[in-house]
Amino acid sequence: MMSLEQFENRNVSESGYYKVDIESYPETGWEKAKQVFSRAIRGELFVGLWVVMREMIKFDIHTVQYPKEKLPVGPRYRAVHEMQRLWESGTERCIGCGLCEKICISDCIRMDTKIDENNRKVVSEYTINLGRCIFCGYCAEVCPELAIVHGGRYENTSEQRAHYTEYDDMLTPFDMALKGEVPEYPGFGAVTPHEDERVKSTPLAY
């Protein structure tokens, strides 16, 4: 049980404090000059210089050469959105349900949908205003089709903001999808692992 007693004891010396051994400060002018001299003329400076020199000669450099080189980001990182395609057919995953538009708390997603010649719903226009987006990840979480996900592209510089809001830029290139180069997406917005074990099967009559 806690009690107030231990807080009421103000005698700090009993609780294991001890004094630090500090050299006395130089007092006379001579003593001061001696301290400056002894601190300045030490060989430690050359030790540091040698380490730099040694590493330079070895050419074993650990610095990442950004922007030529980039560090990989973690799969749960939430950077600029990507629109996925289906793995095998390359069909756009987005069905135009509008849930990302609805859930977006900064109101930066907007889509236009229409009926196509096969009587299916298609997205005719899709924009994300990245100037407003707060990268909260709700859109990717709510998406029932794993269509909108957060990718790893974290660099948000361009001459124009509009460059980031083109649907085609966000969409995985079709030829990549056809070649099977699009990996099953592991990043933010993906289903949790072993999700399929939780799916209940529906009886089928055929």
**Site for another protein, residues 158 to 187, rule: CB under 8 A:** none
Query: How many residues does the structure list for the chain?
Result: 206
One character per residue 4-43, x = contact with another protein (rule: CB under 8 A): ----------------------------------------
Buried b (16+ CB within 10 A) or exposed e, 159-186: eeeeebbebeebbbeeeebeeeebeebe
Measured torsion, CA atoms of residues 94, 99, 105, 111, in degrees rounded to the nearest 10: 50
Task: Report the nearest approach of another protein to the CB of residue 110 (Å).
Answer: 5
Task: Report the nearest approach of another protein to the CB of residue 118 (Å).
Answer: 9
One character per residue 88-117, x = contact with another protein (rule: CB under 8 A): -------xxxxx-xx-------xxxxxx--
Residue 117 or 184: the one with the smaller Cβ distance to another protein is 117
Contact flag: residue 144 with another protein (CB under 8 A): yes
Which member of 88, 125, 166, 181 binds another protein (CB under 8 A)? 125
Residue 38 or 119: the one with the smaller Cβ distance to another protein is 119
Query: Rounded to an integer, what distance in angstroms lies between the CA atom of residue 62 and that of residue 70?
Result: 13
For residue 110, the surrounding DSSP H or E stretch is strand 109-115
> Rounded to 5 degrees, what are φ and ψ at 121?
-80, 130
Q: Are 111 and 122 in contact (CB under 8 A)?
A: no
Contacts to another protein by CB under 8 A: 95-99, 101-102, 110-115, 119-122, 125, 127, 144-145, 200, 202-206
